[in-house]
Amino acid sequence: MDVSVRFLDDLRDAVGPQHVLTDADVVAGYTSDWTGRFVGSTPGVVRPSNVVEVAAIIEACRRADVALVPQGGNTGLVGGSVPLAGELVLSTERMTAITDVDADSGQLTAGAGATLAAVQTAATEAGWRYGVDLAARDSATVGGMIATNAGGLRVIRHGSTRRQVLGVEAVTGSGRVIRRLDGLVKDNTGYDLAGLLCGSEGTLGIVCRARLALVAPPIGVVTALLGFADIESAVRAGGLLRRSVAGLEAVEMVLAPGAFLVSEVTGSSPVLDPIPPVQLLVEAVGPPDPTDSLSAVIDEVDGVLAVAVATDARRSQALWHVRDAHTEAIARVGIPLKFDVTLPSRRLAGFCREVVDAVAEVTSRSQTWLFGHLADGNVHVNVTGWTTAEAERIERAVLARVAEAGGSISAEHGIGTAKRAWLTTNRGTPDVEVMAAIKRALDPDGICNPGVLLPLD
């Protein structure tokens, strides 16, 4: 997209010349996504430090009719944070302050560019804990996590990002500043605008700050890795654990091919050796200390082939490794096609088998890697070894099976550019029409991430 000298001058006036990057080598770092699958180009990267500067950027974009793509940690996996049609990039990397930490109410205010790890540290220092965790914690930002309504490893206990957000400060695409950062736990005064921005993927406006609720810190953490012969046994075990273990926070699933890959790529020895066909990573927290209750339930679980238990942080990390390292290990094999789907739990095992066969029917050269958040019915389907000509057929094979099984095409990564063609199939026309009406109301000029989420007209 060509932009005028006048437009770039307006941006420089808004944020200071040193924060408008136009050098080709420098901006190149902002034009491709984490997977390497989505690569775009941009006339510039603008780096505001606060809401006033963001509002000025929005005004400049509206005047000049220039679209922008908000970018946080750029760990999104659906091509939503990169300028695929030559948009301006608005990076939140300078908006990292964490302020107003309130140890009494268990709340803090975080800038959109603060990383999840920084929020977690601030929460711990205040004697609390942040309820969301995911493997991209060192890069993923508050703004990106709100925009994608990120889920992660503890959704069964604390919910997704939406549940942690008490209010936001944001600039809509129409240039209006909305602000509700007082942290009111009860506030029934009309539409929940913060909730609306959760999962909006940068299409309605820019999140600048958020008031986040914290959760009580765990006292006593027990982690267990359980081996099973098949997914059916693992799903049954997941159900028993959920109804029997108070303080259950995570039930994550990995399969043998991914576990072998993690060992090979990271050079680590598997905790369960020989590697079983299916492993569940289970974590429960106290108070009260969950070790005995989790052990008692594990004794009742049918079909357990092997168990490892950890009650200290170092050993627990060793158990988590096989799950945490999956995304990065798969990325080392090749650029993955990524699908992040939820299924009703009774369809999960069948889907996992069928989807591997369905992809193999499109191309026998590909490999399908499955892992995910079993307790949420959420499977990450990653396919490597595809060609551009095969990508669309693989996408159809996977997503059609999800639709048939009554699932969702995006459990937590969002729609981005990667899945927008499938949104209407999954949500239905009335839902998508209402979403489009909301988009028109908040972003009448269509400048905020126009290539993302909503299907092409």
Ligand X SMILES: Cc1cc2nc3c(=O)[nH]c(=O)nc-3n(C[C@H](O)[C@H](O)[C@H](O)COP(=O)(O)OP(=O)(O)OC[C@H]3O[C@@H](n4cnc5c(N)ncnc54)[C@H](O)[C@@H]3O)c2cc1C
By the 8 A CB rule, do 311 and 291 touch?
yes
Number of chain positions touching ligand X (CB under 6 A): 38
Q: How many residues does the chain have?
A: 457
By the 8 A CB rule, do 248 and 282 touch?
yes
| CB 19, min distance to ligand X, A | 16
Give the contact letters, 160-199, x = binds to ligand X (CB under 6 A), - = no. ----------------------------------------
Q: Determine the interface stretch with ligand X among 39-47, 74-82, 266-274, 310-318 (rule: CB under 6 A).
A: 74-82
By the 8 A CB rule, do 298 and 238 touch?
no
| CB 370, min distance to ligand X, A | 15
Cβ closer to ligand X: 151 or 175?
151
410 in contact with ligand X (CB under 6 A):
no
By the 8 A CB rule, do 412 and 378 touch?
yes
- Site residues for ligand X, 97-156, by CB under 6 A, read 112, 134-136, 139-141, 143-145, 147-148, 150-152
Residue corresponding to tokens 């180009």: 41
Cβ closer to ligand X: 10 or 340?
340
Q: Which of 40, 43, 48, 73 binds ligand X (CB under 6 A)?
A: 73
| CB 156, min distance to ligand X, A | 13
Q: In whole angstroms, give the CA distance from residue 197 to residue 122.
A: 24
By the 8 A CB rule, do 91 and 27 touch?
no
Cβ closer to ligand X: 115 or 233?
115
70 in contact with ligand X (CB under 6 A):
yes
Tokens read off for 456:
């092409």
Cβ closer to ligand X: 101 or 196?
196
81 in contact with ligand X (CB under 6 A):
yes
Cβ closer to ligand X: 401 or 420?
420
Residue closest to ligand X, measured at CB: 144
| CB 188, min distance to ligand X, A | 25
By the 8 A CB rule, do 166 and 211 touch?
yes
Q: Which of 76, 173, 175, 247 binds ligand X (CB under 6 A)?
A: 76
88 in contact with ligand X (CB under 6 A):
no
| CB 302, min distance to ligand X, A | 28
- Kindly tell me the burial class for residue 375, based on how many C-beta atoms sit within 10 Å of its own C-beta (0-12, 13-18, 19 or more): buried
Q: Which of 77, 118, 119, 423 binds ligand X (CB under 6 A)?
A: 77
Q: Which of 202, 238, 270, 276 binds ligand X (CB under 6 A)?
A: 202
Tokens read off for 285:
């927290």
Cβ closer to ligand X: 160 or 316?
160
Q: Determine the interface stretch with ligand X among 73-81, 178-186, 286-294, 359-367 (rule: CB under 6 A).
A: 73-81
74 in contact with ligand X (CB under 6 A):
yes
452 in contact with ligand X (CB under 6 A):
yes
| CB 68, min distance to ligand X, A | 9
Tokens read off for 144:
């990106």
Helix axes 313-324, 256-266, angle to 10 degrees: 110
Sheet holding 20-21, edge to edge: 20-21, 45-46, 88-91, 68-71
Q: Which of 119, 194, 206, 281 binds ligand X (CB under 6 A)?
A: 206
Give, for 357, the enclosing helix (H) or strand (E). Answer: helix 348-362
Q: Cβ of 154: how many Cβ atoms within 10 Å?
A: 23
Tokens read off for 416:
């981005």
Q: Which of 57, 88, 207, 375 binds ligand X (CB under 6 A)?
A: 207
Tokens read off for 105:
């109410």
Residue 153 identity: L
| CB 76, min distance to ligand X, A | 3
Sheet holding 306-310, edge to edge: 306-310, 221-228, 278-285, 248-255, 367-373, 378-384, 337-342
Q: In whole angstroms, give the CA distance from residue 214 to residue 378.
A: 24
- Site residues for ligand X, 240-299, by CB under 6 A, read none
| CB 345, min distance to ligand X, A | 19
Cβ closer to ligand X: 43 or 397?
43
Residue ranges of alpha helices (H) inside 73-207 are: 116-125, 142-148, 155-158, 161-164, 193-197
Return all residues near 65 (Cβ < 8 A) that are at least 6 apart.
445, 447
Q: Determine the interface stretch with ligand X among 8-16, 63-71, 232-240, 360-368 (rule: CB under 6 A).
A: 63-71
Alpha-carbon dihedral 249, 255, 256, 257, rounded to 10 degrees: -130
Tokens read off for 221:
């953490």
Residues in contact with ligand X by the rule CB under 6 A: 34, 69-77, 80-81, 92, 112, 134-136, 139-141, 143-145, 147-148, 150-152, 201-202, 206-207, 327-328, 412-413, 449, 452
